[in-house]
Amino acid sequence: MQKAVKNQWSSRWMFILAATGSAVGLGNIWKFPYITGENGGGAFVLVYLLCVALIGIPVMMAEIMLGRRGGGSPINTMRVLAKEAKRHPIWGLLGWMGMLAGIIILSYYSVIAGWTLAYIPLMASDHFHGMDAQAVADTFDAFTGNPWWLLLCHTAIIFLTLMVVAKGVCGLEKAVRFLMPALFLILLILDGYAYSRGAFSQGLDFLFASDFSKLSANSVLIAMGHAFFTLSLGMGAIMVYGAYLPKEVSITQVSITIAAADTLVALLAGIAIFPIVFANGLPADSGPGLIFTTLPLAFSHMAGGAVFGSLFFVLLLFAALTSTISLVEPAVAWLGESKGMSRKNAAILCGIFSWALGLLTVFSFNKLSDVKPLFDKTFFDIFDYLAANILLPLGGLAIAVFAAWSLDHHMRHDELNTQHDWFVCWLFVLRYITPIAIFIIFLHAIGIFA
């Protein structure tokens, strides 16, 4: 079969760094540590790891496998594979769903990522020193209420993203070769700071002390959902990254490594965050507000807070950029393959579209905050709901079904090239367990099953 993509990762570690960067985002930094502590600590981690094994890793293996087999953008990959497997061309819609989800997510994710960019100089200048909780919250409200500041930061994130993507696999490798090691280094520095300045044992207890009484059916649903969403599955990013993966690299090994690295980042973030929060007597249940209201207040009351606070927001910026890069890659790859566009022009076109669509998110926090065109939701809420609750779960479900039931046996076995027992186990889980689990995630996400 003729491969559409010529470039390849220089090594399996470059692929692991890139895919882990795609998975690691702002949600890892605040959400996983928080939901872990609120749902039984170590007990929740065990449930989560089981969900990763039954949902995350099988789908990731399937998505990488499809990408490497098809060798192109998600749209063209699914067209080629459907034809090869003698299946209906409608499977090509799976690629369109993934590309659409990536562009929609980038349009609003770049706005939120822009907040982290704005907070770096605020923290470095010790702007929050002496403020109380209300003053810190007012600063955040004033920032999001100013459309011109949000627009500037949104534009900067899109520009930084496109600078990397326009250079192809070479640009992706250069970016992740710097960003991912730097991210881990900053995390370790912040963990050391938390150990010396925060309520370290209390933070560890919050994260790791097993309390099975806090586990509930809802805890399992939360674990299932996070195991799926945290690995950037169902939006084509992992599929197109898989298209650049050399044939000799083990899909099973890299999938397990990526899932482990993603979980490690989330736990290291929790070890850094919660001792600092508890040391200042602040609430740990602030959700997203933990980043932009609670933590700036905590750092402002600690020795060296300006330095380490700004370092924390640099960490968030790096995590955001490794994700935004992967969000736009499927669309850029498709424009290059199908429309003959250069990487630079394709990146610019995708960037302009995402930037323009992102204006609705920018204004959702200020000028259009009262405009709720659908289901009493702002434009930002609509985009987030459509992508996260509908497109991604349905995309992941379709990937599982196509890989497990539509591909010929020799196609699957040829790409995975793993031990027979592992292959049989993976195929069984992907056929009979993973689709049901993802469908439950979908029903839970849209509020039907709770």
CATH number of the domain that residue 352 is part of = 1.20.1740.10
Whole-angstrom distance, CA of residue 389 vs CA of residue 166: 30
**Best CA proximity match to 384, nearest among 28, 77, 111:** 111
Give the model's confidence band at 155: pLDDT under 50 very low, under 70 low, under 90 confident, else very high. Answer: very high
pLDDT at 351: 96
Q: Average pLDDT of the chain?
A: 92
What are phi and psi for residue 268, nearest 5 degrees? -60, -35
pLDDT in tens, 60-118: 999 999 999 999 999 999 999 999 999 999 999 999 999 999 999 999 999 999 999 99
**Best CA proximity match to 309, nearest among 426, 190, 221, 188:** 190
In a domain, 74, yes or no: yes
Find the range with the poorest average confidence among 1-5, 39-43, 425-429: 1-5
Q: Which domain holds residue 26?
A: 12-445
In a domain, 342, yes or no: yes
pLDDT in tens, 39-56: 889 999 999 999 999 999
In a domain, 7, yes or no: no
Top pLDDT among 38 and 255 is at 255
* pTM across the whole model: 0.94
Top pLDDT among 330 and 420 is at 330
Q: Is the dihedral of CA 196, 17, 337, 416 positive or negative?
A: negative
Top pLDDT among 340 and 450 is at 340
pLDDT at 2: 41
DSSP for 13-57, written as a single string: HHHHHHHHHHH--HHHHHHHHHHHHHTTTHHHHHHHHHHIIIIIH
User: In the structure encoding, which two tokens stand for residue 131, read together?
Assistant: 């403020």
pLDDT at 3 over 60: no
Which residue is listed with tokens 């500041």? 149
pLDDT at 375: 87
Mean pLDDT calculated for residue range 198-206: 90
In a domain, 2, yes or no: no
In a domain, 234, yes or no: yes
Give the model's confidence band at 1: pLDDT under 50 very low, under 70 low, under 90 confident, else very high. Answer: very low
What are phi and psi for residue 64, nearest 5 degrees? -65, -45
Buried b (16+ CB within 10 A) or exposed e, 177-190: eebbeebbebbebb
Whole-angstrom distance, CA of residue 164 vs CA of residue 71: 21
Top pLDDT among 162 and 197 is at 162
Mean pLDDT calculated for residue range 152-172: 95
In a domain, 3, yes or no: no
Mean pLDDT calculated for residue range 356-367: 97
pLDDT at 450: 60
pLDDT at 280: 86
Mean pLDDT calculated for residue range 220-249: 93
CB-CB neighbours of 52 under 10 Å? 24
CB-CB neighbours of 384 under 10 Å? 18
DSSP 377: B
pLDDT at 5 over 80: no
In a domain, 177, yes or no: yes
Mean pLDDT calculated for residue range 275-286: 84
pLDDT at 411: 87
Q: CB-hemisphere CA count at 13 Å for 400? A: 28
pLDDT at 303: 87
DSSP 375: T
pLDDT at 6: 57
**C-alpha distance from residue 310 to each of 109, 152, 190, 306, 307 (Å):** 20, 19, 11, 6, 5
Strands (E), 52-133: none
**C-alpha distance from residue 157 to each of 79, 270, 408 (Å):** 32, 25, 42
In a domain, 5, yes or no: no
Q: How many domains does the chain have?
A: 1
